[in-house]
Chain A
Amino acid sequence: MRLEGKVGIITGGASGIGRGIALAMAKEGAHIAIVDINEEKGNQTLRDISQYKEGMLFIRDISKKANIHPIINEVIDKFGKLDILVNNAHASKQASFVETTMEMMELSFGTGFYPTFHFMKAAYPELKKSKGKVINFASGAGISGQPTQTSYAAAKEAIRAITRVAANEWGPEGINVNLISPIALTEGVEAWSENHPELYEQMVNNIPLRRLGQPEEDIGRTAVFLASDDSHYITGQTIMVDGGSIKIY
């Protein structure tokens, strides 16, 4: 068990990539606190991870800053510490650059960037004690500048920037801060692919490994690596889990 006894928080942990990470980490022995706004899916994932290790579920809106600190406190009350913070939640709307509105920017920054920032700040004292690990989420949309993704790309690259700053500032305290940039076959992508089979095929054909990643097997296990002692000397990095789609820098 590579995460035996560790305690982690995963935002957006009820479905998709967040659920995949929750399962992968629980199977490696970690207590996982899921934070999400979807109660039904949250309960389902809590039931699933509880087969492996006792977990928690918080149905909270983390775009409201005041909701974040109490989550950390309740996790500490229950499990006594925090080792892993996974900032995965993010909502956004697609639109061409000129059609992107201030509301769209606020949605993307409000659900993705600011919660990541506030969670990192709120978790810092605990991560310092545990010499913990932060895993944030980047996107090929930001790195390669995908059309129609202005608000999402901007927030994702902002997350990459603060990840590097935190890696530098918190390195001496033994906290590792890294990013995953994934492509994954989530429920959302699956639904989209059924409505756009040709676009989906085109997308797969552009991926060297010719498939999308699996939330648990591919993204979840990479997150396990970044949360485990195996990655102790890696910090400030963006790990591409995208079947070879993008080569960065």
Chain B
Amino acid sequence: MGRLDNEIAIVTGGASGIGEQIVDLFSQEGATVIAADINEAALEKANNKDNVVGMKLNVASDEEWAQVAKEIKERYGHIDILVNNAGISSEKAFKDIDLEDWQKMLAINGFGPFAGIKHIAPYMSEQKQGSIVNISSYTAQIGQGFNHYSASKGAVRALSRAAATQFGRSGVRVNTLFPGIIDTPMTQGLSESKELLNQLIQATPLQRLGKPDDIAKAALFLASDDSSYITGAEIVIDGGFSAQ
């Protein structure tokens, strides 16, 4: 028996990195998972997995969200879990960041999760139950990273709390995960600088980087009934880095 038997879950950015790990864990736990991603080659890989359906989605598109939400609702009759995981990062120095960079980052990392909640939460409200998990970043909390990425993750934090208040009374839970540095394709750049990497590990109480699985298991907890009294909460998964 799985912890998400018969549940319908949507995971954005579900074709690689943390998202892929979440998709795999949720499907192992009995859910039917819609891996929504912009990357078509990756979607094909998702479609080859049991109980996983790849759907093309640009999270920055209101129209595509509306379409995807309607299609899933019509096909399955219910939507139980939404994980807003899709996002981009940037290595640009602050002096090089311009309005265009800012708008692109906020469109994907900020408007993306907002639009997901906008289009999915009403269905969950009708059902009187649902769990939304947003993926922010510890950079939204610790005062590191003066850039558009941290700002976008701060936006996720604020709108998660507001959504928890907005939809809590109709039984929809909204919570946020704050990963530290997780070993994924997105943070691969760091592993090329061994010295910096060692410094980061030394500064982390648990003395290692995070793994996609660390995030996936916390997402599973927040998606499942085990957390049915938790909403508007924030779980930092950074090996204790920001607790210092």
Contact = CB atoms under 8 A, between A and B. Distances in A.
B229 interface: yes
A15 interface: no
A240 interface: yes
A248 B234 contact: yes
Interface stretch (B15-23, B64-72, B217-225): B217-225
Contact of A222 (B165, B169, B227, B237): B227
Contacts of A218: 228-230
Interface string A210-247: 11011001110110110001111111110111111011
B204 A244 contact: no
Contacts of A208: 164-165, 168-169, 231-232
Interface in A188-214: 207-211, 213-214
B225 to A, nearest CB: 8
Contacts of B221: 222, 225, 230-231
Interface stretch (A83-91, A144-152, A168-176): A168-176
Contact of B207 (A172, A232, A234, A242): A172
B141, B210, B239, B243: residue with the most chain A Cβ atoms closer than 10 Å: B243
A164 interface: yes
A222 B226 contact: yes
Contacts of B243: 164, 167-168, 235-237
A244 B237 CA distance: 20
Given A231-B218, A233-B206, A235-B206, 6 more contacts: A214-B229, A225-B226, A233-B214, A235-B243, A241-B229, A249-B141
Contacts of A225: 221, 226-227
Contact of A230 (B161, B220, B230, B234): B220
14 contacts: A168-B243, A171-B205, A172-B206, A208-B231, A219-B229, A222-B230, A230-B217, A232-B214, A232-B217, A233-B214, A234-B237, A241-B233, A244-B165, A244-B233
Contacts of A239: 230, 233, 235
Nearest to A213: B229
Interface in B48-88: none
B207 A171 contact: yes
B236 interface: yes
A230 B228 CA distance: 17
Contacts of A183: 229
Interface in B172-220: 173, 180, 204-208, 210-211, 214, 217-218, 220
Contacts of B237: 233-234
B240 interface: yes
A235 B164 contact: no
Contacts of A237: 235-236, 243
B30 interface: no
Contacts of B171: 209
Contacts of B220: 230
Interface residues of A, number: 43
Interface in A53-89: none
Nearest to B164: A244
The 6 closest A-B pairs by CB, nearest first: A171-B205, A236-B243, A208-B168, A218-B229, A233-B214, A244-B231
B144 interface: no
A170 to B, nearest CB: 8
B201 to A, nearest CB: 11
A171 B204 contact: yes
Given A235-B240, A243-B229, A244-B232, A167 B205 contact: yes
Contacts of B236: 234, 237
B207 A209 contact: no
A137 B53 CA distance: 41
A237 B239 CA distance: 10
A161 B164 CA distance: 27
B235 A234 contact: yes
Contacts of A229: 217
A233 B165 contact: no
Nearest to A163: B243
Contacts of B211: 233
B173 A233 contact: no
Contacts of A168: 205, 240, 243-244
A249 B32 CA distance: 35
Nearest to A232: B214
Contacts of B173: 209, 244
A214 B165 CA distance: 20
A214, A230, A249: residue with the most chain B Cβ atoms closer than 10 Å: A230
